[in-house]
A and B are shown apart, each in its own frame.
Chain A
Amino acid sequence: MVPRLRRREFAAAGLSGIFAAMHRHDLSILIIDENRLRAAIIEDGLREAGHDRVTVINATDEVARKITEVAPDVIVIDLENPDRDRLEHFFTLSRVLQKPVAMFVDRSDAAAIGAAIEAGVSAYVVDGLRKERVKSILDMAVLRFNAYAKLQRELEEARTALEERKLIDRAKAILMKQRQLSEADAYALLRKAAMNQNRRIADIAQSLITAAGLLEP
């Protein structure tokens, strides 16, 4: 009994998978994002998921010209775009889109809308599209937006860490020269000052460099 049930489940999944793929492939998706890197990350994700008709526009000015040839079913825009009001107005007027656009598919899907806006992405969908046809696209866009934001954060953290190390190295060099200390002792002194004052070592190093600058002739 058990193996037969499993087979039936497989068969059902296979069939709906095929249908899903058929539906997915014929949707035209337009990504409008001035951030080229992020746009590329989203495009990759959509192509990996089997969407072949993906168009990326990096400059808002191109939208009017390109929208005719793209005839999008789904439009993905980043929330940072200051031109969002203009684009939205354009979508509502555009005859190319034929049907009015709605934000997301289902107005009742508050959780999905919240997650997308949290991630910084907004989507417009040609009216009448079924929710399940668009959901994977939106989920993918949200996922990729979050991945990009995480990447940016990590880069920022790495950059900060590098800058802080440089500060600490300079502060150490000042102490070594002024107090004739070894490198290890200079670092120990910085760390002790940081602990005593309940501040970060990099902040102590910055203060020390500033003070040394003031005392220079």
Chain B
Amino acid sequence: MKEFRITAGFLPLLDSLLLVIAREKGLAIAQGIDLALVRETSWANIRDRVAVGHFDVAHMLGPMPIAANLGLWPIAVPVVAPMALGLGGNAVTVSVKLWQGMLDAGVPAGIEPGPAGAALRKVVAESGRRLRFGVVHPHSGHNYELRYWLASSGTVPGRDVDIVILPPPLMADALLNGTIDGYCVGEPWNSAGVANGAGRIVTVKQKIWAGSPDKVLGASETWADHNPEALAALLRALYAASLWCADPANHAEAAAILGGPAYLDCPSDLLQRGLSGRLELIRGEVARVPGFYEPHAQSATFPWTTHALWFYSQMVRWGDIAHTPDNARRALASYRPDLYRASVAAAGAALPVSDAKVLGPDVFFDAVVFDPVQLDNYISAQSVC
């Protein structure tokens, strides 16, 4: 078997899991890969180190490769996303004080985005000041999902509430000291906010946009072009990791490995919550959220071009980029199901028939349909108010 050495950058988040497990459970070695993992402190560092070739591949926010290919990076480098790193994994957490306000506004128990959004709208309308919500990066699923949920609930980001950028490890503290009123971030940072008594999880990504990806594997196009065998071997190793992680019997071990000092360096109990979908919503209230983070089922690692186009539609909506046929084409081409199919089929994976799909009325919480063929209509119909 050939020997490959691959260096991957990651941020300490739950969904770096597949990379960590591929290395720690010997699944990378089994594909002939010596996989080096490097922990980073910001998405900007991930971007820069991929751009200059320090990292061959990296854990990236789903919209990051699209932003790169649309020229939104301050450093020019084409990036491909040949694989998604699972579905879900994000939630929206609000301060205990804001949660109290939402209770007064009649929010029911649970985490349904519709009623939660309606209650939040009432609080926002009656609040004497503008509420502030944190997200980790402008070009992130967190930012676009939070905005989508707020806007569909009648709260317009930028007009009614502010959205600010904060690094994940500072979110819980910022919520506790009142710098922000809520945030949308990946695990374990929602559970961390609950554990320190700062907040309540009000809804989750999978309820706002069912079956949606958050992070992808990103690689510079140059590296991917020059190392097709190494990339294919890595995709097979990550696919094997997704299978291993899907078995609930492995969750405790997965949480222990991921919580180790080289990775997230946090209590495994906190990671178990996201892995098992048994979330503590607020201190003392535990809820089961099936599929909160899905590493494998529902083609969880397949890089649907439809997902790239939906992220693009939101980048247009919030003014990151102008909609042109060429930009839409670049966004779609950022996700590379062809690379996924060519490599993962050899691992015996069941593959979707098509690279695209219609996101029907049961996908988004507001029942609005996203048909990639109708992109122009979807974009012109969406409001920014």
User: Which residues on A are within 8 Å of B, measured CB to CB?
Assistant: 79-86, 88-90, 101-104, 107, 110, 113-114, 117-118, 122, 124
Interface centre among A79, A85, A89, A122 (most CB of B within 10 A): A85
- A124, closest chain B residue (CB): B74
B74, B75, B76, B137: the one contacting A85 at CB < 8 Å is B137
Cα of A101 to Cα of B164 in the assembled complex, Å? 19
Cα of A127 to Cα of B186 in the assembled complex, Å? 34
Cβ of A79 and Cβ of B48 under 8 Å apart?
yes
Give the size of the chain B interface in residues (CB under 8 angstroms): 23
A-contact 0/1 string along B125-166, CB 8 Å cutoff: 000000000001110000000000000000000000000111
Cα of A71 to Cα of B306 in the assembled complex, Å? 42
**Distance in Å: Cβ of B12 to nearest Cβ of chain A:** 11
Cβ of A84 and Cβ of B41 under 8 Å apart?
yes
Which residues of chain A have C-beta atoms less than 8 A from B43's C-beta? Answer: 85
- A125, closest chain B residue (CB): B74
**Distance in Å: Cβ of B100 to nearest Cβ of chain A:** 28
Q: Summarize B's interface: helix, strand, loop or mixed.
A: loop
User: Which residues on B are within 8 Å of A, measured CB to CB?
Assistant: 41-45, 48-49, 51-54, 74-76, 136-138, 164-167, 169-170
The verdict on A83 contacting B167 (CB below 8 Å), with A113-B51, A122-B48 known, is yes
The verdict on A81 contacting B53 (CB below 8 Å), with A89-B165, A113-B75 known, is no
- A127, closest chain B residue (CB): B74
Cβ of A85 and Cβ of B136 under 8 Å apart?
yes
> Can you list 24 contacts pairing A with B, beta carbon distance less than 8 Å?
A80-B41, A82-B42, A84-B41, A84-B42, A84-B44, A85-B42, A85-B136, A85-B167, A86-B164, A88-B74, A89-B138, A89-B165, A90-B165, A102-B74, A103-B75, A107-B75, A107-B76, A110-B52, A113-B48, A117-B48, A118-B52, A118-B54, A122-B44, A124-B74
Cβ of B52 and Cβ of A82 under 8 Å apart?
no
Cβ of A114 and Cβ of B52 under 8 Å apart?
yes
Which residues of chain A have C-beta atoms less than 8 A from B138's C-beta? Answer: 89
Top 5 nearest A-B pairs by Cβ distance?
A103-B74, A84-B42, A89-B165, A114-B52, A86-B165
Which residues of chain A have C-beta atoms less than 8 A from B75's C-beta? Answer: 103-104, 107, 113
Cα of A88 to Cα of B43 in the assembled complex, Å? 11
Cβ of B52 and Cβ of A86 under 8 Å apart?
no
Cβ of A88 and Cβ of B170 under 8 Å apart?
no
Cα of A84 to Cα of B137 in the assembled complex, Å? 10
The verdict on A82 contacting B170 (CB below 8 Å), with A89-B138, A110-B52, A117-B54 known, is yes
A-B interface contact total, Cβ < 8 Å: 60
Which residues of chain A have C-beta atoms less than 8 A from B170's C-beta? Answer: 82-83
- A90, closest chain B residue (CB): B165
The verdict on A86 contacting B45 (CB below 8 Å), with A103-B75, A107-B75, A110-B52 known, is no
- B54, closest chain A residue (CB): A117
Known: A85-B165, A117-B52. 14 other contacts (CB 8 A): A82-B167, A83-B167, A84-B41, A85-B137, A86-B165, A86-B167, A90-B165, A103-B75, A113-B75, A117-B48, A117-B54, A118-B52, A118-B54, A122-B48
Cα of A83 to Cα of B134 in the assembled complex, Å? 13
Cα of A90 to Cα of B169 in the assembled complex, Å? 19
The verdict on A81 contacting B42 (CB below 8 Å), with A114-B53, A117-B48, A117-B52 known, is yes
Which residues of chain A have C-beta atoms less than 8 A from B136's C-beta? Answer: 85
Interface centre among A81, A103, A124 (most CB of B within 10 A): A103
Cα of A85 to Cα of B139 in the assembled complex, Å? 10
Which residues of chain A have C-beta atoms less than 8 A from B54's C-beta? Answer: 117-118
Cα of A80 to Cα of B48 in the assembled complex, Å? 13
Cα of A110 to Cα of B43 in the assembled complex, Å? 19
Cα of A35 to Cα of B234 in the assembled complex, Å? 37
Cβ of A82 and Cβ of B169 under 8 Å apart?
yes
**Distance in Å: Cβ of B171 to nearest Cβ of chain A:** 11
Interface centre among B43, B45, B138 (most CB of A within 10 A): B45
Which residues of chain B have C-beta atoms less than 8 A from A113's C-beta? Answer: 48, 51-52, 75
Which residues of chain B have C-beta atoms less than 8 A from A80's C-beta? Answer: 41
Which residues of chain B have C-beta atoms less than 8 A from A107's C-beta? Answer: 75-76
Cβ of A79 and Cβ of B166 under 8 Å apart?
no
**Distance in Å: Cβ of B103 to nearest Cβ of chain A:** 31
A79, A82, A101, A114: the one contacting B74 at CB < 8 Å is A101
Cα of A170 to Cα of B145 in the assembled complex, Å? 61
- B53, closest chain A residue (CB): A114
Cα of A103 to Cα of B49 in the assembled complex, Å? 13
Which residues of chain A have C-beta atoms less than 8 A from B41's C-beta? Answer: 79-82, 84
Cα of A200 to Cα of B53 in the assembled complex, Å? 36
Cα of A102 to Cα of B76 in the assembled complex, Å? 10
**Distance in Å: Cβ of A136 to nearest Cβ of chain B:** 21
- B72, closest chain A residue (CB): A92
Which residues of chain B have C-beta atoms less than 8 A from A124's C-beta? Answer: 74
Cβ of A85 and Cβ of B52 under 8 Å apart?
no
